[in-house]
Amino acid sequence: MRLLIVGSLQGQLITASKMAMDRGAAVTHADTIDGMLKVLRSGRGADLVMADVGLDIAELMERLQRERIHLPVVACGVKTDASAAVNAIRAGAKEYIPLPPDPELIAAVLAAVARDQSNLIYRDGAMAAVVKLAEQVAASDASILVTGESGSGKEVISRHVHNLSNRADKPFISINCAAIPEHLLESELFGHEKGAFTGAVARRIGKFEEADGGTLLLDEISEMDVRLQAKLLRAIQERVIDRVGGNKPVAVNIRIIATSNRDLTESVRNGAFREDLLYRLNVVNLKLPPLRARPGDIVELAEHFVDRYARENGVPKRPISEEARQMLVANPWPGNVRELENTMHRAVLLATGEEIGPDAIRMPDGSPIAAGGASADARVAASAAATAEAVSRVLVGRTVADVERDLILDTLDHCLGNRTHAAKILGISIRTLRNKLNLYAEDGVEVPGPGEARIAIA
């Protein structure tokens, strides 16, 4: 955690710095807003800004936005300065911390920022397979391409890879290639020298240098102009970059993770993406399934968001009712995890009873999310998702051998004891099936004979 403190915190600077460092934060200090920008331009970076409320917080937020630097900001001031606190929150500060600082409050703020950056919540087998692959390659320096629909958690799993890598104690720097105008993206990535172009009033370190030693996440790389892709390819291959307006190559040591919600192979065919760059990035492909394809994660994530937003809004944490759970699992979630998060945030605010019921699960305009006029296909998909969620709960706590035995015997029942047909359905040899059945019989388990079934088949 990198904490940047701006201002004197009304004489409490040393105390706040020590509290943060005691909790593992690396602390940098700047006296003024200009000093803050100088630190951030230099490439030292920050994960959180703690600003003296005596500064102009509105100007601070505006300057960050103008520099296209996206950081959470908390304001600090004396307890009696209520109007300044309100103005800071209105200007965009995420939190207000009263001074003198309380150790537990400082710890909670740092923990909340760290948690927001690294939450990886999953239970469904489809997601577990992706996480397993991610963890297998995390220790390497191989480039990774993370693909999946918008809102499916591409940045979250990228941070997970970084946190498990040998670079975990170094920076994790993210840049959204789709959010920055084309003519500015080169400067954002590679930095620029003073006077390199109109408005370049000082040297600025780019994301490549800021991430030196750590990981650089190129979010939505499919949106990068093909001309800039050539410079990116050189940087990845040779591990050197050229600042805009510079005349001296700068060596960098980074691991690249790129994300895309598009089919990059199709983009290559269309001439919108370089094939050689795709090969460089796609050493390992982590393909995230959409939320509708991982129903076992829906309730787990929903409960996580309820816990988080109940705590942040200072309201009681209510359990999700069974009817509301079914509604959540049945919804197709076109916006994926991001949409589910926003829905549960609203539900925390709208719920009035002892539980979060269906009446609190609503769209932003207040309409219910699961309208009764769903198509037959949507109802079938919802039913399948609900069944998958129920099955995943039933399987928890059972051994693989128990599940395998029940699957084999249920299939044999379905085939009225026909070993050949059952083996074909199960995808195993008849010999393997017979060996399994012999073991079950020796353990006293009822095994149906040819033409028989343990239960009546409708």
Mean pLDDT of 403-408: 86
Task: Pick the range with the lowest mean pLDDT from 125-129, 408-412, 424-428.
Answer: 424-428
In the predicted structure, residue 95 carries a pLDDT above the cut 70: yes
Q: What is the DSSP string of 396-408?
A: TT--HHHHHHHHH
Count of CB atoms within 10 A of residue 451's CB? Answer: 8
In the block, tokens 């069974």 appear at: 322
Of the pLDDT bands very low, low, confident and very high (cuts 50, 70, 90), residue 217 is: very high
Provide the mean pLDDT of the chain: 84
Tell me if domain 2-118 and domain 125-289 are identical in fold: yes
Query: CATH assignment of 292-375, given 1.10.8.60, 3.30.1510.10, 1.10.357.10, 3.40.630.10?
Result: 1.10.8.60
Q: What's the pLDDT tens digit per position in 12-64? A: 777 878 888 877 778 888 999 999 988 888 767 788 898 988 889 999 998 88
* CA–CA separation, 210 and 319 (whole Å): 43
Statement: 125-289 belongs to CATH 3.60.110.10: no
Neighbours of 456 (CB within 10 A): 6
Architecture of the 397-442 domain: Orthogonal Bundle (1.10)
**pLDDT for residue 454:** 67
Mention every residue, 6+ apart, whose C-beta is less than 8 A from residue 184. Answer: 68
The predicted model scores a pTM of: 0.64
Q: Is 249 exposed, middle or buried (0-12, 13-18, 19+ CB in 10 A)?
A: middle
Structural domain spans, the chain: 2-118, 125-289, 292-375, 397-442
User: Regarding the domain with residue range 2-118, which homologous superfamily does it belong to in the CATH classification?
Assistant: Response regulator (3.40.50.2300)
Mean pLDDT calculated for residue range 98-125: 74
Contact 208, 235 (CB under 8 A): yes
Calculate ∠ Cα 116-39-33, nearest 5°.
Answer: 90
